[in-house]
Structure 1
Amino acid sequence: MLAGPLPGIYDPTGPRKLLFAFFAAMADRAGEHLRVDAGGLDTAARKGKHGGRPPVITDDMLHTVLRRRASGESVEQIQPDLILPTGNRKGHNPSVASIYRALAEHAKREA
């Protein structure tokens, strides 16, 4: 509000002083909340717990994709043979984009 597109136009001593105080208190509380969350994430990481969703492509699936790609098959040819073992789409095929993403992450880890 003070550094946005209208700096200097809003006077916090005017009739909207209560609204300004409310926004200032909420901004202070939000910053406090972020610091608490960051500390919790660091603590969880030290305990070996990392958040986020589990990967769609399992290590076994990735191994299959790598082996078949080495023999000359394309991702589009491999995708129909892969079956998701868990999650909401259990029993379905993973998307081609998920396979490419897993391949890119594997290449980054190998580099």
Structure 2
Amino acid sequence: MLHTVLRRRANGETVEKIQPDLVIPTGKRKGRNPSVASIYRALAAHEKAQAYPDAVEQAHAEHAQRADGLPVIVRPQPAGVLHQIDPELAARIQGRPLNRLE
């Protein structure tokens, strides 16, 4: 989306004319047009990154350095209820009487 804005701005179009043609591809506002303010914020962030490439590179390096010391997040595995079940185990489990408190 930013690439389109930059290209059309280079051709002399205003942000107000570009805005109705843009569509948000993902997220809560998927399929809607971004606000003019959002486009200007994106342009400002892009210009800031272009003006200070060393600062952006340093920030990426610092983030990577901090991330090296963090523990690896162990993600839970799916239960696998659709996998093949051991018939012997299923018979053993289903054959047990229920122990209900009465």
TM-score in terms of structure 2 length = 0.49
Task: Report which of the two structures shows the higher radius of gyration computed on alpha carbons.
Answer: 2
